[in-house]
Structure 1
Amino acid sequence: MKTGCQYLGIELGENLASLASKKFGNYSNFSIVNGDFEKYELQENHYDLVYSAATIQWIPEEIAFPKIYKLLKKGGYPAESLMRMISLSISEHTVIT
């Protein structure tokens, strides 16, 4: 968090929002909101980066992407990380003990 950037997290889960607040709340450049990204009102043309950590796939793309681009400043970046399961079958995965 010692980057000179301002961080705003929007977390739908109350427990995860509380955990993030406890872990990072002492940083003056960090804030977390327990809310729904689809409904939460954010300032348009304000952010240099909008990052989604394994969540954007749950928001309809016709809602998520237009909203992200409205939030970004000109030249801003959208970024995401996605979790990908190749198989739901446990027999196809190595168990590490």
Structure 2
Amino acid sequence: MLAGPARRTLQRDAFERTRRQLTTVIGAPAVAPRAGAEQQKPQRTVFDARHGTLRQECAAIIGKDATVNRAYAGLGATFEHFLKVYGRDSIDGAGLPLHATVHY
């Protein structure tokens, strides 16, 4: 009765594990950089759920709010991960702006 669905789940799990392992060994295919991009840089914005925008990429001021700074740094780490590991300019490979919300 449950043997069929369980077997299909195990087969799918084995398929996904193999695919991830091959991607790790061979590497993910690179995505072409967006046209006109001089240098791949993140576009980050951190929003406060109560007060609006707290920090943007163009703002050089580092705030005193540690949560905002961690969120901002996390967005930067996400951008760097996609750039270095997958060769993508942001998550979508086309410079998608990254947003975070704090103090929800």
TM-score normalised to structure 1 length: 0.24
- Which has the larger strand fraction? 1
- Which has the larger helix fraction? 2
Larger radius of gyration: 2
Structure number with greater CO (CA < 8 Å, separation at least 6) is 2
